Amino acid sequence: MRVVPRAGILDPQGNAVAGALGSLGFDGISEVHVGRLITLRLLAASEADARERAEAMCRRLLANPVTEDFEIRVAS
C-alpha cells in the first residue's frame, strides 16, 4: 500500500524536500510529495480478495481518508 498526502492538501514535508532538491541544483522539480509504503504478506483466496482486504485496511487504519490517498499493489 502506498499512502500519500491527498491532492490539494498542504504537504509541508514535500515542499521542504522540493526546496532541498532545488538547493542541490536539481531543477525543473514540482509537486514533491512524501508518503509512506506499507508492505505485508497476506494469506488470501485470490488476488481480488487480497485487494479487497487491503483496501479495507487502508480505509480503516493505514490511510486517513481526510488527509491521505492510497494505492494498492498486489503480487502473488
Partner 1 sequence: MKIGVVTFPGSNCDYDCLHAVEETIGGQAIYLWHAEADLQGSDAVFLPGGFSYGDYLRAGAIARVSPIMEEVRAFANAGGPVAGICNGFQILCEAGLLPGGLIRNRSLRFASRSVRLRVEATDSLWMSRYEAGQVLRVPIAHGEGCYVADEATLDELESSARVAFRYMGEASPNGSARNIAGIVNEAGNVLGMMPHPERAVDALLGSTDGVPLFRAVESHLNAGVGR
φ and ψ at residue 40, rounded to 5 degrees: -155, 155
Min CB(12)–partner 1 separation in Å? 5
Name the residue nearer to partner 1 (CB basis): 46 or 67: 67
The residues that bridge with 71 in the sheet, in sequence order, are: 2
- Residues 3-28 as b/e (b if ≥16 CB within 10 A, e otherwise) read bbbbeeeebeebeeebeeeeeeeeee
Name the residue nearer to partner 1 (CB basis): 36 or 48: 36
Q: Which residues bind partner 1 (CB under 8 A)?
A: 5, 9-10, 12-13, 16, 61-62, 64, 66-67
Name the residue nearer to partner 1 (CB basis): 50 or 62: 62
